[in-house]
Amino acid sequence: MPENAFLNSDTDKRLAIIVPYRDRLEHLKQLIPHLINYFERDKIDRNISVTIHIVEQLGDQEFNRGKLCNCGVSLSQSDADYFCFHDVDYLPIWSDYSYCETPTHLIWHGLPIMDHYNKFFGAVTMFNKADFEKTNGFSNKYWGWGYEDEELRERCGTVGLSIERREGTYQSLPHENVGYNSDGKHNPIATRNLNLCKKRLKNLKELMSKDGLNSLDYRLDGTSKIKIDSKIYENVFLHKVEI
Ligand code: UDP
Ligand code: MN
């Protein structure tokens, strides 16, 4: 056995964590210091080279999580080998961000919802660069809450990529539920996105070839280092974009 064979041979792979973001400052203030401390702890993913990219949507159009994630890839890809799409409201307690050979979902414990753990592909996911290019990224067409993550999972299936599930434990930060009314039913925007997704899945192979990374259109307003409670974080970038 070669010397040091027990070391993870993939630690030379560079990870870009991409956080789609707008107007959730209280969560961002918790996530950033938490992630920095998380990666300093001695565990399987400690030695990964990580940059964090907060991609902030400017303006008051409906939020578009998928498109912001595509922007994050476009902005970080020259310095990254794989990408983690990370909601601002999940703090890793014990997870595994090491390189993934196939699209990977990282959360198992700590999802506040739900009955379909085995299908859910939102919140915190990872892709290596080649796989994300194969899916042509996220769709850019989901405005407002919901279903961009479902389409991404179906895009993976359409190009023959299977999904790995790691058993990460996360703490979720509470917020108002954007996709549902108080009676637990989808609101009109979520219903619209559900219907959009259902319709697109009938013809996904063709639609996904025309909509995603290859059709991404945005304007970068500026990139800066992020400052939280007067501390400047190296390797954490705030990209403001018009989409
Ligand atoms: N998000 C945001 N501002 C918004 C809506 C969404 O920053 O106004 C980002 C944020 O990273 C959030 C993610 O998109 O964690 C998913 O949205 P949300 O938390 O509303 O979805 P849910 O928790 O219902 O899956
Ligand atoms: Mn959330």
- 62-94 pLDDT, tens digit per residue, is 999 999 999 999 999 999 999 999 999 999 999
**pLDDT bracket for residue 177 (50, 70, 90):** confident
Rounded to an integer, what distance in angstroms lies between the CA atom of residue 123 and that of residue 17?
12
**Beta carbon of 56 within 6 Å of any ligand 1 atom:** no
- 80-134 pLDDT, tens digit per residue, is 999 999 999 999 999 999 999 999 999 999 987 666 778 999 999 999 999 999 9
- Strand segments, DSSP code E, in the chain are 14-21, 49-57, 82-86, 90-94, 104-109, 124-128, 164-172, 219-228, 231-242
pLDDT at position 156 is 98
* Mean pLDDT score of the chain: 93
**Beta carbon of 87 within 6 Å of any ligand 1 atom:** yes
**pLDDT bracket for residue 11 (50, 70, 90):** confident
Ligand 1 pocket mutation pick from 19, 54, 68, 87 by most atoms within 8 angstroms of CB: 87
Ligand nearest to the CA of 149: 1
**Beta carbon of 146 within 6 Å of any ligand 1 atom:** no
**Beta carbon of 180 within 6 Å of any ligand 1 atom:** no
Distance from Cα 83 to the centre of ligand 2, integer Å: 19
- 29-72 pLDDT, tens digit per residue, is 999 999 999 999 988 888 899 999 999 999 999 999 999 999 99
Distance from Cα 15 to the centre of ligand 2, integer Å: 22
Residue nearest to atom 13 of ligand 1 (CA): 87
**Beta carbon of 122 within 6 Å of any ligand 1 atom:** yes
Dihedral angle computed from the Cα positions of residues 170, 150, 174 and 90, in that order, rounded to the nearest 10 degrees? 30
**Beta carbon of 90 within 6 Å of any ligand 1 atom:** no
**Beta carbon of 127 within 6 Å of any ligand 1 atom:** no
Dihedral angle computed from the Cα positions of residues 36, 114, 118 and 166, in that order, rounded to the nearest 10 degrees? 20
- pTM for the whole thing? 0.95
pLDDT at position 116 is 76
